[in-house]
Each structure stands twice: as structure tokens, then as C-alpha cells.
Structure 1
């Protein structure tokens, strides 16, 4: 077997989390204090810190700060991950939108649980959410759909998400036909919500916050929902 030139030496790659001098000693997030379960307050206890960290990711100009890696498991027990955009976060949980017949939609139909990770690596922070998934109401889907750019509406209406298509040209042709049907890309009659498209809500059962620290001695604080309320603890890295 012919050897392949190694372009990247993965085993030697290192990131010095929470290291440096002066202000840098606090780590990329600029917070000298160590993340602690006592930071999780309110009802639910995870929401306040999540909102604060998300806002700080926006201020720090993290690309796509509301992007999250969504994990699902299909009917055969095979996991799948992909990046989607969080479009809502409140006391009920985390909301995203997609096609119900997409790969993730099919997986959620058979196994309605998911995980989501917000990877704010440039700030040396992550948030992990795990819990049961339910569809949002048609009214909530309609409200979000109306707020989407028209081009995004036309693309979603066109796409049989996750299904094969012969070529990019075929996809663009289908999008053009959809646009003509509704009066154009820039204006025309309203584009209706596709019947197989809508929102999902992850109802958090476990929410974990991660903060990078020197020598891989990272901080992890977790909130777990139980029948009696929420329990808080620190996890070893």
C-alpha cells in the first residue's frame, strides 16, 4: 500500500487553553474565575448562563454563534450529527427548524431524543444540551416562517431535504420553477409553509457548561432535571 504524505500531524496538535500571562491567564473568555455550579441559578438554572454566554459569543463575533451540533439516533440505533441553527431558547428549551422527512426528522420520529452542542471554541466554552424532542406548534412554525427571507422560503419549499438529486443544475432548475410559481425571488405571492417542514423543541434534561483551563484541567458544571427539580454538580474533566 502506497504511503500518503502526512499533511497534518494530528497527534502533535495542541491548544493551550487558559494559558498565558496577564489578562491572557484567564483564558480566551477573559474570565479569571473558574466556572462553578453556583453560577447556575434561576428557574431553570441553566437558562441565565446560557443566555449570557450566547450574548458574549455574539459580542466576540464568533461566526454563527447560534450554530449547534445536533445529534440524533435513528431507528437502527445509528447516531448522526450535523450543524443546525438554534432559533429559540427559553425556559422550555432549545428550538430549531428543519424538514420532517429529512434524515434528522426521520430519526426523531423513531427516537425523539437529541443532543446539541454549542461549540464556542474561540472563547474556550461549550454548552451541551440533551433531552426529549417535541414538535413546536403550527403557529410557532408559521411565525418563524414568515420571518425568514423569501429566498430561504423558496429553497425550503423546493428541497426534498436529504433526498438524492442528479445534479446541482437540477436543484437550481427546481428552485427557479418554485420561484416562478410564486411570482419571483424578490417579490410575489406569499410562500406557504411546506407540509413536511417545521420546528422542534429540545426539552432539556441535562445541560452542561464547559470552560477551558490550563493543562486540560477544564471546568464542567452540570444541571440535571429530576422528578424533584434540578440538581447541580461539577464534573471532572
Structure 2
């Protein structure tokens, strides 16, 4: 049998007394803590990476890791090509789950609910904040589609760079019609805090009423077994 490296999760855990009345405050706090940790110690690269799970029209699941570039009381969100595998899945079935995991902190947050497309003005604002090369790349990549070789992609990038040279302006590359974003409108938000002997804390906000992640009175809390 292969030798398995093991380590104990020496986290501080999470108690009900530490929870706010709605999940938003703690979501914001843990995300900020992860970002500070990476800046200070460098052991949490891409602290905003989130694993997104979808299912297609046949019920086949798919998980991929993207960057959480939207975080508001409405929920966490991300941007993508609207003809990508994830976007096609969400068109067929808007149910979605996402997980932020920060192993050095013994923290994770799980979101589950339904995906909603972000408003076009929000998408445009984010697109224009991206580096010029990333904006060109959004046009060059027919995301999730087959590609003959790397050279084919690089040739498309070269052609688009000539078409839309870098002028330093946020609108020098237009927003593609087929590029957008999604927010997860959550029914559940689970906070996972690692503890010794795998006796972790799992405290879950479960939606009971209307509102967003900051709405008090819209959530109840369950403790679930590790």
C-alpha cells in the first residue's frame, strides 16, 4: 500500500456565537483574510479561485476552477464565454455550486443555488478593467471548443492585436457579444472550519426568506456533522 502523508487540521474552528445574522459579513471577512494571508505570506496564490460545479441537460456533472471576480451581497460570481461548457450547462440547468478553499487557513465556503446572468453594464465595467491582453484573449478563444494546435490560437491573437492595438484606453477592445458573467443566488452558504481528528465545524446558512446574503431574518443556521 502506498504511504500516505497525513497532517492534522489545527484550525481554531467555528462556533455559532461567532456567526452574524446573515452570511455576508462572514463571507467578506474570510475572503479578506485569505487575501491578506497571501500578501503577507504568499502561501495562498489566487485566493479568489472558486471551483464551480454544473450539470448538463443529461445530468452529467462538470467541475472547473475559475476566478471569483464578482462578490457582492447578491452572491459570488464569475465571468466567462457564454458558449463555454459551463454556460451551456447553465442554460439547460441553472442549478450551480461553488467552493472557495483556503487550506492554510483551514477554511472553506460552499455556495449552492441558482445562476443568474449579470447585467450587461456590470459585465462591461469588469471587461474594461481587465488587462488589454486578457480582453484580446476573450475574443480569440472559442472557449471549450476543439483546437487544432496552439499555433491556431496564437495566430488569432496576433490578428486581433493588429485589429485592436493597445492604446491604454479601457474601451480599445470592444466587449464581445458572447462574453458575460454569472452570480450565484444562494439557497445555502456553508462555512467549513478544519479541526483536529477530522472533527471539523460545518455551519450552514439555509435560506428561509427573500433577500440577499446580507438580509437578516432570511436565513437559519444548521450545524452539520463533519
Q: Same fold (TM over 0.5)?
A: yes
Give the equivalent residue in structure 2 for 1:16.
Answer: 8
Provide, for residues 175-230 of structure 1, a one-character-per-residue CA deviation record: whole Å limited to 9, x for no partner.
Answer: 10111111259779711111111110100110000111111111111001023721
Whole-Å separation in 2 of the counterparts to 1:150 and 1:137: 22
* 1:182–1:188 CA contact under 8 A, matched in 2: no
Whole-Å separation in 2 of the counterparts to 1:92 and 1:227: 14
Q: Does 1:199 align with 2:188?
A: no
Normalising to structure 1: TM-score of the pair?
Answer: 0.85
Give the equivalent residue in structure 2 for 1:99.
Answer: 81
| 1:154-169 correspondence runs (5 A) | 154-169=136-151
Give the equivalent residue in structure 2 for 1:233.
Answer: 222
Provide, for residues 109-152 of structure 1, a one-character-per-residue CA deviation record: whole Å limited to 9, x for no partner.
Answer: 00011100001011111110001111011100000011000000
Q: Does 1:56 align with 2:33?
A: yes
For residue 57 of structure 1, report the CA deviation from its aligned partner: 0.7
Provide, for residues 3-50 of structure 1, a one-character-per-residue CA deviation record: whole Å limited to 9, x for no partner.
Answer: xxx8xx36x3322111xxxxxxxx3xxx4xx302333314xx111111
Q: Which has the larger radius of gyration?
A: 1
CA RMSD of aligned residues (A): 1.9
| 1:144-159 correspondence runs (5 A) | 144-159=126-141
Give the equivalent residue in structure 2 for 1:110.
Answer: 92
Give the equivalent residue in structure 2 for 1:74.
Answer: 56
SS of 2:142's partner is coil
* 1:36–1:234 CA contact under 8 A, matched in 2: no
Cα distance change, pair 124–167 in 1 and its aligned pair in 2 (3 A): same
* 1:136–1:201 CA contact under 8 A, matched in 2: yes
Whole-Å separation in 2 of the counterparts to 1:176 and 1:50: 41
Whole-Å separation in 2 of the counterparts to 1:169 and 1:184: 22
Normalising to structure 2: TM-score of the pair?
Answer: 0.89
Which aligned segments of 4 or more residues in structure 1 are displaced greater than 4 angstroms?
184-189
Q: Which moved more, 1:103-112 or 1:219-228?
A: 219-228
* 2:129–2:170 CA contact under 8 A, matched in 1: no
Q: Does 1:211 align with 2:190?
A: no
* Unaligned ranges ≥5, structure 2: 39-43, 211-217
Whole-Å separation in 1 of the counterparts to 2:55 and 2:16: 29
SS of 1:151's partner is helix
Whole-Å separation in 1 of the counterparts to 2:119 and 2:163: 27
Give the equivalent residue in structure 1 for 2:215.
Answer: none
* Count of residue pairs brought into register by the alignment: 214
